[in-house]
Amino acid sequence: MSTLPACPQCSSAYTYEDAGMLICPECAHEWSAAGEAAAEDGPRVYRDAAGNILQDGDTVSVIKDLKLKGGGGVVKMGTKVKNIRLVDSDHDIDCKIDGFGSMSLKTEFVKKV
């Protein structure tokens, strides 16, 4: 019986390890075996571009101009975003920005204010 975890994308039990990476042969998803061990240790810690720990409700500032998909404009560097919500998905922050509405941001493009 295998002690390797199931694939996080398709839940396949047929995962295998190769060079420190866990691989699913059914959907070809690859993820770090070290990341899997860290996920079992406790809740995920979100950090901004400077390494500060972020929490729900924090205020952050955008550190570079971000083009919006669909030609919606640009979120300028220095824009403050209040009352963020941290989520476990591709983009880590759900928020509302004045003039743009609801959107998702990555933690690597913000710093805590």
Assign 34 to helix, strand or coil.
helix
Distance CA 30, CA 104 (A): 24
Distance CA 95, CA 6 (A): 32
Residue range 29-69, pLDDT digits in tens: 888 876 655 555 568 889 999 999 999 999 999 999 999 88
Q: pTM of the full predicted structure?
A: 0.62
Distance CA 70, CA 2 (A): 45
Residue range 6-26, pLDDT digits in tens: 888 888 888 888 878 888 888
Amino acid identity at 99: G
